[in-house]
Amino acid sequence: MSCIVIAEDRCKGCELCTMVCPQGDLVQMADHFNVKGYRPSAFVDPNGKCTGCTLCATMCPDMVITVYRTVRKKRDVVEAKPAGGRIEP
């Protein structure tokens, strides 16, 4: 399960990150204000749907989003063999 961390004290609440999440509404606007008087973004992912795609972090103009990706196991690669015999040069 991947997740993001938003530096709420630096977020200006522009809502750009809320519009680009391909998983839906994982990034929402908080119901409180930060020290600068803005409503920051908040990460809400109770079901672990975040894929760590980094679209929210890429879109953020103030670079306040850090993405933590889950390390996935590599799959075994099987060599491809021709289906009908030998390959002609």
pLDDT 10s digits, 33-46: 999 999 999 999 99
What residues does each domain of the chain span?
Answer: 3-68
Residue 39 near residue 28 (C-beta atoms within 8 A): no
CA-nearest of 49, 57, 63, 75 to 10 is: 63
Tell me if the pTM is above 0.85: no
Distance, CA of 8 to CA of 66 (rounded, Å)? 12
Residue 36 near residue 12 (C-beta atoms within 8 A): yes
Topology of the domain covering 3-68: Alpha-Beta Plaits (3.30.70)
pLDDT 10s digits, 18-31: 999 999 989 999 99
Rg of the Cα atoms in the chain: 20
pLDDT score recorded for residue 66: 96
Tokens of 41: 């973004």
